[in-house]
Chains A and B, each alone.
Chain A
Amino acid sequence: EPEVTQTPSHQVTQMGQEVILRCVPISNHLYFYWYRQILGQKVEFLVSFYNNEISEKSEIFDDQFSVERPDGSNFTLKIRSTKLEDSAMYFCASSGEFNYGYTFGSGTRLTVV
């Protein structure tokens, strides 16, 4: 069964450092997303991406965040200057053109120290 792959599974970084979280969505999917989940809290929408551009972003997704689809297969989330409160599980997801049901990756656990 097709799956969404995320790397790394766990990343520890120092406050103020840049991190790049990587995702390989399902190959024939057209919609791509990043969500995050702080321990004990709801899953939160960060950004959606369609047709090579951001289609919607949340208030969380400020100037410190950016997304790219550099080569037609990978989908990355960059956080330029990490803060302690960025510590969370970050999930990448993708969905097909006619199906609203997303497929999620296993997530990257980001720890900012």
Chain B
Amino acid sequence: QKEVEQDPGPLSVPEGAIVSLNCTYSNSAFQYFMWYRQYSRKGPELLMYTYSSGNKEDGRFTAQVDKSSKYISLFIRDSQPSDSATYLCAMSDAGNNRKLIWGLGTSLAVNP
């Protein structure tokens, strides 16, 4: 079983829609969960960072972690064309090395 699974999409939504992006994982040792946004040929940009289970909200973005189900989500409210990008989940255990294990990324297109 792959450590982190993420549907690559593509996902196409109209402007203003609520977007739901998800990842599942197999390693119960993961404690830190991140969502990154990546534009074409650019470096990943940190959007949200969550420790352990629960919800975190930042503007139009909400991250959820359900450790019992090994499932994390990112919700984008009132999506904008500028949100069109690839969204990658990444996670790490609590070890000192902080190595991130990544999903493949979901390609999102928000259409005006």
Contact = CB atoms under 8 A, between A and B. Distances in A.
B99 A56 contact: yes
A55 B103 CA distance: 23
A50 B34 contact: no
A31 B98 CA distance: 9
A113 interface: no
26 contacts: A6-B43, A31-B98, A41-B104, A42-B105, A43-B44, A43-B100, A43-B102, A44-B102, A45-B100, A48-B97, A50-B97, A55-B97, A89-B41, A91-B43, A91-B44, A95-B98, A99-B49, A100-B51, A100-B98, A101-B34, A102-B98, A104-B36, A104-B45, A105-B43, A106-B42, A107-B43
B6 to A, nearest CB: 9
A7 interface: no
Contacts of A55: 96-97
A19 B105 CA distance: 28
Contact of B46 (A41, A44, A91, A101): A101
B99 A45 contact: yes
Interface string B2-45: 00000000000000000000000000000010101000011111
A45 B42 contact: no
A109 B92 CA distance: 26
Contacts of A101: 34, 46, 49
A13 interface: no
Nearest to B42: A106
Given A45-B99, A102-B46, 6 more contacts: A43-B44, A55-B97, A56-B97, A56-B99, A100-B49, A102-B98
Interface string A38-75: 00011111001010000110000000000000000000
Nearest to A44: B102
Contacts of A107: 41-43
A84 B10 CA distance: 29
Contacts of A105: 43
Nearest to A35: B100
